[in-house]
Structure formats: C-alpha cells, structure tokens
Structure 1
C-alpha cells in the first residue's frame, strides 16, 4: 500500500544565496549600472541614477556616524513614501544601524510604544502626512522617552543639519565600519500587531531581507531593464524588500508615484515612466481598474507585478491580466517574520493556480503543513498549520524571547498561524487562520491590540473584536462592547475614542453593544459565534447577543 506524500516541500535551487550585506550589494550594483535610474520620486520631482543614489547613501551613512550612531543602534523612520526613506534604508544598513519601520498611520499612543520598546536613539520623520502632524506628535512623545537623542524632520533645517554633518566623517571610517559588518547582523525591525497586547518587533538581518528581495525579483524575472511602480508603503516588507531590494539586487528602477496611494497617480506614473511592473494589494488594483479615466492611460509597457496582502478575486486577476496587460503578474504569500515571502506563483502558472493558491515554495526555503497540536507533518490534501523554515525566518522578536519561542519552535519552524492545504503538485492554498487576525486591505489587524486599547476607556467594561466580511477591504473590524452600568456610551463615541490614537485601519467600522458574550464551558469567549452574530447584525443592525 502506497504511503501518502508528506505536505512538505523544499525550494532546492541552483542559484546560490547572496552572502553580502545590503550596503555592499548596492555598491556592486551601482558599479555595474552607474548611469541607469535607480529611483524616481514623482511627487518630489527627483530622479537618481545608481551612481547618484549610492553616493547619497554614503553621505547619509556618514551623517549618521557623525551624530554618534553606532552599529546596532536603532533609528526610527516615520514617513510616507519619499526618496529619503529609501536612502535611509540603505544608509542605515551601510553604517550598521538598525532601521525601525514606523507605520505612517500610527498615532501618539503607538509611536511612543514603538520608540520605547525598540530603544531608538534617533527618529527621522516627515513633517506631516494627510491628517497626521508628525512634528506635534514627536514633540509630545520626546519628553517621556529616555534614550531618544535626535529628532529630525524631512524637508526642514534639521534634515539639512544632519546632512551637513557628513563632512565630519572620513569616508575611510565608513568603509571600515561597513567592512566590519556581517550578513547575519540585525538591520531592520518591523512591528507586527500582536495577538496579545502591543505590537512585536520582528528583527531581520541583511541575509534575511537581501535574499528575499532578490528571489522575489527572480520570480518576476526582473533585469536591469525593468521599471517597478511601487505604490505600496515602504514601512512594510512589500515596499522596502519586495520593492527596493528586489530592484537593487537586479539593477532595476523603482518609481514612487506619490507619498501615499492614489489610483490616478499610479496610472499616470506607469504611463509616463513606462513601468514594466506594478505592485499592490487587491484593493489597489480594484481602485486603478475603476478609475474613471482608466481607458485613457497607456499601460502597454506593463509585463509583470505582484499582488499580495490578501486573497485576490478571480475576476480582478482576469482584469489585471486582460485590461492592464500584466500577463506575468504573480501572487506572493508571506509574513513580516519571514522577510516576507515564502511562496510565490510564477509567470508560467495558469490563472487558476494564480488565484486559488499562493504558489509553491520559494528558493532555499522549506515549507510544510503540520498538525498544530502534535507538530507532525500532515499528508498533502490535509488541512493544518502552514509553517516555514530557512534563511528567511527572522532572528526573533526584539527583546521578547518568550514570544519568539512561541513563534519559532526548537526545529526553527516558523508557525504562521494560517491554515493551509498543500496539493499533490506542491501548491499551497490558504483556507483560514488559526489566529484571529483580520486582514483589512492588506493590513494585518490583531483584535487583541484593539481590545486592550478599548479597555482603557472608562465607560467600557469589556470589549471583543472580530473580523467581518467587507466587499472592498476583504474584512473590517467589529467591536462587541459591554458598557459600564449607567453609561450612555454610543457607537460613535467608541470610534471617536479610537480616532487619532490608533491607526485608521484599526478603528472598528462597526460597534455593537451587548450584556455579555457567548462562552465555552471553560470560560473562553466564542469568537466564532460572535462572527456569526456579526453577520446577522450587519443584515439586521440591532442584533446582538442578549442585546440591550
């Protein structure tokens, strides 16, 4: 009797892993393609060749050293997509400084936590973005943060003063600093919303993100002739790894259509810059396809791109291929803790595989589907937890060994918390989530973080947050709130409490009041029942468990 094939795959590859640091790899690319464009920031009217970009990276790296930033120190970057963000990414890496990505949507409550938990010595921030006044929030945070020595705002005299300091650092000192770095050194901390309380800082090395960016680019068949439109945010792996590092490891060009996403600006950038690749989460592609002037844009230069962040409806994929000409568009799956990509579809995969699955194992990575209770590898066709192992797995959560041990087991398997099935050909289909994570338009939202924040409201006795389906964003957050006795708290009061203190995508779209929650016999809240009640409640807005 034949035994079942294990739900395990190894991305054996004849293409070796890169062994250098991010800074050295950029220098090599700049030497090969000095006159090719590396970065175009359309909102800033800025165009940098590889030679110019590399020189600017050197200047900013020397400026960081002049400020006293040592290898291993942390530098927070809090800004929408700008050329300076990309320069800082590579400059920090060249100087051995750990870049701490801060979501531009964060408000004071979240900013203070991230700066304190990571121990940032320096914060580089924009002045403002949309309705966020970064200057005011940074000023409010600084007095309560020990160790934050420098706050610099882009486009202000403080940024110019930082750059002027580069003259105080001998280029030989920078070369010596860079030569002393190792590819295994931590170089980036990215915060992911925590299932219990506050976000966790995933600590990533040169080796992690440089190689992941390189092999994502290989999956898209990138060369130095490609021009990648990157409207996804830099603070996330999608922008800085799959965008910047995929480009610089291949000598390609990155085009920033604007500081934030705006569909018309993206379409204009693709047309004007003759972009060959376009990145985005499904909601971005939907907005571009629905733009009233869509048919007037020339998108004939497009060849490939990446859709990731949440499942893609098959009709959207068809339109992206047929109406946008992206015949080689790929789907990628991953998580911040794995740098991020573990699986990817390829250009030769048929439409069904590019929509119904998240592709097959990435080069030099191991994946499996395991029984979450026993830890044993299941057979192909069985549902279990998707796990991954290899060069891309993070070093750990910053200064949080307990949660690191919960995520990465003794055999170095990263537990994603996602439920998956591997078919006989090795394609992975994500079928659900073991955790309660909500994916809203590509943003990971963990209910526990919102719940803990809601508990700080004096009129809220208890709060439970679940995800509910949404046609545009995939999911939205719904908060089930138990009011304190005598409280007249309204739904709008709850949302107003969150606005300005939580990132906009974490603010519950729906709020329902109840007396208590459906519980298990062991006293655990049955969130699956809350989700069922939520679905009813959206159809019949006042439905709630034991509604008041």
Structure 2
C-alpha cells in the first residue's frame, strides 16, 4: 500500500526521520532536549528491551502515562518491536484500566509513577486485589527510577538495561518483518456513549493518514509543536508524534492542559503549531495575562468539534495573527482522520464545516434528501480493520461494501464539505421534531455572554423531550436563564429553544476534550443541581 511518504511502517518512519533530520531538535521535555538522531537511538534501545522481555510480534503492549518524552520513546519502541500499542486514558481509575488490560490481553504495561497526585501503580494493584484478573499481564514497567518490590514490576532504567544484550541488527530484523497491514495500535473509543471498543489500526493506515494530515495542515520542518492533546488519543499521538516525524517538527509535550503553562511554553519555546479543541484556544484568547506573553510565533492551529464559533476563527487570525486556522473531523474507527479544511478556505467555511474528505477517502450522508441531516458514512484506506475480537460489533459498524457507520449526524454541501450536527444517540425529539444538540449549541454560542455550552434532551410531560442547556458565562457576564431563553426564541425555531438553563463554571469533559453528554443526561434534575452547585455555586 502506498502510504504517501514512502514509509510502509512506523519503524521505517522513525528511522527515516532520524536519518533525515538527525541534528534537528526532536523533543523538548522540561530540561531534556534530544535530537532526531538521539530519538532514533532511544527508540531502538526501547525496542531492544521489548525483545529482551520476550515481546512477540502482535503482542499487545499497553501504556498508561501522560505526555512525556518517556511516552514517546517507550511507545515507539514497543511498536518497533512489532507490538500492538494499547494507549490507556490517563483519567482512568484502576478498575477501568484493568478492564482494558484484560480485554486486550496486554502482556506488558508501561505506566507512570504518580500523575496529578495519583499513584497509578497503587490504583492498579488495588483493582487487582479487589478481584480484577489480569492473567496475560506478565510485566509492569514503571516509567521512573524506582518500582515497587513486587514480582513482575521493574523500573524503566532496569527494563532498558535488560535490553543491552540485544543487538541493533536484531531490532532492525524484527522491525523489517512488519508489513503495512500489520496492526500498529488498538485505540479504545472514549466510552462517552457506552463501553469502550478497541479499533484496530494498521501501520499503513497510520503513516498514510498523518502524512496526509501534515500536508493539508502545512506542517513543515522546523515547526515547534506544543502537544497538549493527550497521547492516548489519536489527536495527540498521531496528529502529534507521528505527524512531527513525517516533517521533522519539534515535539513539546505538555502533560496537562493549563493555560498559564501553554502561554509560557509558546513564548519560551517559540511555538508555531498548537492544535487542540476549541476550548483550549478560547481560554488562551480570554486569559487576562495573554498580552504579557509573546505569541507572535504561532502560525498554525488545527481544531475540531461540532461547534467552532466563527468569532473564534476570526479572533485567532485577527488578535494572534495566526496564518492558518483549520477544522477537521475524525474518529478512532477511521484512524482519527476523515475530513479536513484546506488552507485558503474562508473563515465562514472553516467555522461552519469540518472540511471535505481527505485523499483516498469517501464520505456520504445517509439521509432523506440532499442537504438534509443523516448519519455520516466513511469508506477508504483509513477505516479500521475491526473492533478487537468483537465480530458482532464490527459487522454492525462496517457494511459489507466497506462503509463505516460513524454514529455522527451531518450534512454535506454541494462542494463536499461536511458539517457535523450531532451524534445519532444525542438527538432528541421535541413534539415530533428532531432536535440536534450541536446545532442548538452553535446558535447559543453566538450569544455574546456565552463562553461554552452543552445541550441535552430531558423528559417533558407535554412534548416528550425538550432541551436543557448547561452554560458557562463569559467573565463578568450577568446573563440569566430568562434572558438566554428569550434571546433563543428570537434566533431559532421554537422546538430548538431550550426550556431549561443551568449555569456552571465548566462543562464535564473527558481527557480528549469531549463533553460527556451521558453524564449530563444522567445527572439532570435534583442530583444535577446539587452536583453543578458544587461546580458553580448556584442551581
């Protein structure tokens, strides 16, 4: 399969990047600064340690850690050794991590020591003591200098030292045995609408997809890329690490999103590329200390969501002087990339759509007629091979002729640009009319006092269901529920107008930035008021 950049596999990409960009800075992580040549050497050493640990081609190796240099080296090392990478969400509790480890039958786990005040090792061990069975898990490597004195656990330093007896030739022989169709990773879905399922993605899909992403975005050698998107998500790992490898850009991983740290990084490291969800860029623009930092090096922003306000695109261009602002759409089951805007698209199109199909991909909408909303279907090189060991779910998701049912609702315009309007499961029916929360959110987001908003359907005795909006006010705003509802009645069809409004200080989001709609629906009414009261200080 032609991957677009001449690489058949991820190890080929890593070796080529090390040779092509050898002296250029590859990763900056705190005081650690390494070149592409050094990165290549560290990845081979990590792969050698996997071989020494008896990891076989196709074995699953999980990683449960935040964005760091060690994540990059250990993950790429595992993949170079022929393992299938299983990234774990850093917000998981021990039982949740154990569930993915058990279902993927991971033989090796690479885990951080302590992150955000939580010992991941202790969390996992508590889950095991409570009955979580992990018979396939043979080794746990703690990405630090020490590990607990427990059989099967060792430190990163000890793990690497064990690989010293494995030669570079043995590592390269193992890597060379991989084919484009070999699985490279299993990305478990975020689980916002149900139990996570593991999308199996191949080497060719990964390198081809993110060579395309890099080309459409205009990523180039010498760019300095602040990677705030979590590595366990395709937006962080593939649109971050893999994309940088294709172009020789410098990776600057940031473990946790904090706007002050982002501002400091941009100024100190002369960051030029900052992809992320709209909330990241909104908080950057609205930060009271923004003007104290030199942000003039920023030139490329890629974002994506059902709702990207036009004024966000205009402010990024006008206030920060960002040359290129693009929106895109993807999902784990399609290698994380389906559509993307093109450089030169007008701001209105960038804000109102997620772009058009990337090369090698078809997109259609299953709907009643042209211009009407329907489920988005995708076919092409990027569609996952399967859900891991779940043929029933795979058959439900992929049609016999290769179309992936995304579960997203969208509209295609005459030029092939896709506007995502919602998730199929998020739609609610108001008196017989289909209401799409993302459409309502986009309209409510136009109110000058609304900083962030999420809408869900709630039961109603007369209409069946009605909308409830959870709203984050802009700093200093005194907007009331009655004010917003009255405004909404002037701006949208009556069935779309939320009948209930709750003001909150922030929306519940998972670590990849998605609003957890299921949590909002489950916590409406009295329990929601109490929970949100803790967040916002009001009902």
TM-score (norm 2): 0.77
Is the contact between residue 105 and residue 504 of structure 1 (CA under 8 Å) also seen in structure 2? no
CA contact under 8 A between 2:306 and 2:420: conserved in structure 1? no
Match of 1:303 among 282, 288, 299: 299
Q: C-alpha offsets along residues 453-509 of structure 1, whole Å, 9 cap, x if unaligned?
A: xxxxxxxxxxxx999543459xxxxxxxxxxxxxxxxxxxxxxxx9xxxx9975946
Q: Give secondary structure in 2 for the equivalent of 1:249.
A: helix
The whole-number CA distance in structure 2 between the counterparts of 1:272 and 1:302 is 12
Of 18, 21, 26, the residue aligned with 1:38 is 26
Determine the structure 2 residue equivalent to 1:76. Answer: 62
How far apart are 1:241 and its partner, in Å? Answer: 0.5
Number of aligned pairs? 448
1:238 is paired with a residue of what secondary structure?
helix
1:384-423 paired onto structure 2 within 5 Å? 384-423=374-413
Cα separation, partners in 2 of 1:162 and 1:417, compared to 1, 3 Å: same
Within 5 Å, give how 1:77-92 maps onto structure 2.
77-92=63-78
Match of 2:196 in 1: 199
Q: Closer, same or farther in 2 for the Cα pair 1:412/1:19, shift >3 Å? A: farther
1:347 aligns with 2:343: yes
Whether the aligned pair in 2 keeps the contact of 1:327 and 1:347 (CA below 8 Å) is no
286-295 or 337-346, larger mean C-alpha shift: 286-295
Match of 1:455 in 2: none
Equivalent residues of 1:142, 1:148 under 8 A apart: no
Inter-CA distance 123–394: structure 2 relative to 1 (3 Å threshold): same
SS at match of 1:152: strand
Name the counterpart of 1:363.
Answer: 359
Rate the CA distance shift 1:267–1:513 in 2: closer, same or farther, 3 A: closer
The 8 Å contact of residues 18 and 210 in structure 1, kept in 2 or not, is answered as no
Answer 1 or 2: higher relative contact order, Cα 8 Å, separation at least 6: 1
Q: Aligned pair in 2 of structure 1 residues 83, 398: CA closer, same or farther (>3 Å)?
A: same
TM-score computed with the length of structure 1 as normaliser: 0.76
- Given candidates 259, 262, 268, the residue that maps to 2:258 is 262
Cα distance change of structure 1 residues 214 and 16 upon mapping to structure 2, 3 Å threshold? closer
Aligned pair in 2 of structure 1 residues 195, 259: CA closer, same or farther (>3 Å)? closer
Query: Which residue, 172, 183, 200 being the options, matches 1:175?
Result: 172
For residues 504-519 of structure 1, the aligned pairs below 5 Å read 508=519, 511-512=523-524
Distance (whole Å) between structure 1 residues aligned to residue 372 and residue 515 of structure 2: 34
Deviation at 1:132, TM superposition (A): 2.5
1:426 aligns with 2:416: yes
The answer for unaligned runs of 5 or more in structure 2 is 147-154, 428-436, 442-453, 457-464, 474-507, 529-537
Q: Structure 1 regions of 5+ residues with no counterpart?
A: 1-13, 372-377, 448-464, 474-497, 515-529, 531-540, 543-548
Q: Let me know the Cα RMSD of the aligned residues.
A: 3.1
1:145 aligns with 2:134: yes
- Residues 316-359 of structure 1: per-residue CA shift (max 9 Å, x gap): 22212222221211111010111111111122000000001111
The CA deviation string for residues 77-115 of structure 1, in whole angstroms up to 9 with x for no partner, is: 111111111112211221110110100000022111101
Deviation at 1:306, TM superposition (A): 0.8
CA displacement at 1:263 relative to structure 2: 0.8
CA distance in 1, matches of 2:95, 2:468: 26
Specify the alignment match of 2:434 in structure 1.
none
1:383, distance to aligned residue in structure 2 (A)? 2.2
